[in-house]
Amino acid sequence: MTGSGTDKTKTRKELDGPVVVLVEPQLGENIGMCARAMGNFGLTRLRIVNPRDGWPNMAAQRAAAGADHILDQVELFDSVEAAVADCSLLFATTARAHDQAKPVVGPEEAARQIVQEVAMGGTTAIMFGRERYGLENDEVALANRIVTFPVNPGFASLNLAQAVLLMGYEWFKLETSNALPFAMTERSERASSHQMQAFFDNLVNELDKVEFLRPPEKRDVMLVNMRNIFMRMEPTKQDMHTLHGVVMAIAEGRKGPAKGGILDGNEATRLRALLAEHSDGRAPSDSGGTVRGLARLLRRNPTDAERILWQALRTDRRFASHFKRQTPVGRHIPDFVSFTKRIAIELVNPAETETIVRERGARSEWLEARGYRICLISTADAEADLAGQLDRLAAMG
């Protein structure tokens, strides 16, 4: 897996670009971040004039974030004159007017001139000054051009690496004809008119069932607006399959446990009956795959009453952190259990079968023999009078 943007499986672009000259940089971290910015835009030649903290610099290596190929080839100089002696076109970056009679250009124009000069075989360089006060007048005097950025005049100072990045970006964009590194992958062919019509017919059919397209006099306008929404999307065939599925899932409503829905009382009763009949008093872990599957299904698909009661048990200060849901106690799994309070809660669904009642009785007897108190709560009471049921539970201690 690649990092957040660097794919080491791809070949680096190393173009014949300008030399970056850092004049007396103060912090190793800034040198490293400049190297990282250079690497982003294919610049490789870095010259440093009298770095304050010496060279090599571990802080620079850490901040370079992998741009070691640039730091390994750094050229050191004792003076600015020596560092730029071979340059035929030199730019000095500054946020301040130095009152010198020489052309002042922005980064885009500087990039254009650099590309032209390199094409003619010349050597170009861009000077960047100290973090604290930039380039001095005599250093700017060595340059052929001044580069300044269109920034807020009242807050014009840039971080050293930011200035390098802006120049590198403008040059690289021009050098590569502004080519982006990747484009959206076409995962599927564009949907045909027939597919679009089939989807729209299906959508309108379902909307008519719920009387969405009303009043009647606005129906035609609404249909045109909806059709235009999907046409503007220019969906693919895969998009159409997905949208068909979305419409049908909404139209058909909750599907019970197989679809990850919330069980109603009747569904929960049937599922508990199946679990009771297959388990024959054994814990799911001791039973076959069918029983374990039914137990997981029941746990993942709570009834409305279970969901409401579980939310209350987790948020009410009297019970928070005390109760667990569908947790084995020996061979048995009550709906909710508190090991600290020695209380087991059993939810009673309407129209339960004899099998479920018999299993609950055996479970309650087993738990009571081991010091647990049983609290039976009907699902109707849990939904209609939750506060009263919680008070009754609190009274048990």
Sorted by where each begins, the domain ranges of the chain are 19-175, 193-253, 261-395
The fold adopted by the segment(s) 193-253 is Helicase, Ruva Protein; domain 3 (1.10.8)
175, 17 contact by CB (below 8 A): yes
CA 86 to chain centre: 48
User: d(Cα 355, Cα 357) in Å, to the nearest integer?
Assistant: 6
DSSP codes joined into one string, 108-164? HHHHHHHHHHHHTT--EEEEE-BTTTB--HHHHTT-SEEE-----GGG----HHHHH
Please, what sign has the CA dihedral across residues 256, 261, 267, 272? positive
Smallest Cα–Cα separation from 335: which of 365, 312, 368, 360? Answer: 360
**Residue 356, amino acid:** I
Task: Kindly report, residue by residue over 342-388, the tens digit of the pLDDT.
Answer: 999 998 888 777 877 888 888 899 899 999 999 999 988 988 899 99
Spans of the chain below 50 pLDDT: 1-2, 254-260, 281, 284, 287-288, 291
The confidence score (pLDDT) of residue 114 equals: 95
Model pLDDT, residue 321: 83
CATH topology of domain 19-175: Alpha/beta knot (3.40.1280)
> 71-111, pLDDT tens digit by residue?
999 999 999 999 999 999 999 999 888 778 899 999 999 99
DSSP secondary structure, 203-217, as one string = HHHHHHHTT-S-SGG
CATH class, 261-395 region = alpha beta
At residue 311, the pLDDT reads: 87
Answer whether 342's CB lies under 8 Å from 371's CB. yes
Per-residue DSSP letter, 236: B
Widest Cα–Cα separation across the chain: 101
CA-only gyration radius of the chain, Å: 37
Question: What pLDDT is stored for residue 78 in this prediction?
Answer: 95
Q: Bridge-partner residues for 337, per DSSP?
A: 324, 344
Residue 292: what pLDDT? 56
pLDDT at position 158, please?
86
- Report pLDDT for 326: 79
Burial class (CB in 10 A: 0-12, 13-18, 19+), 163: buried
Query: Tokens 């129209």 map to which residue?
Result: 351
What is the pLDDT, as a whole number, of residue 266? Answer: 60
**pLDDT of amino acid 49:** 96
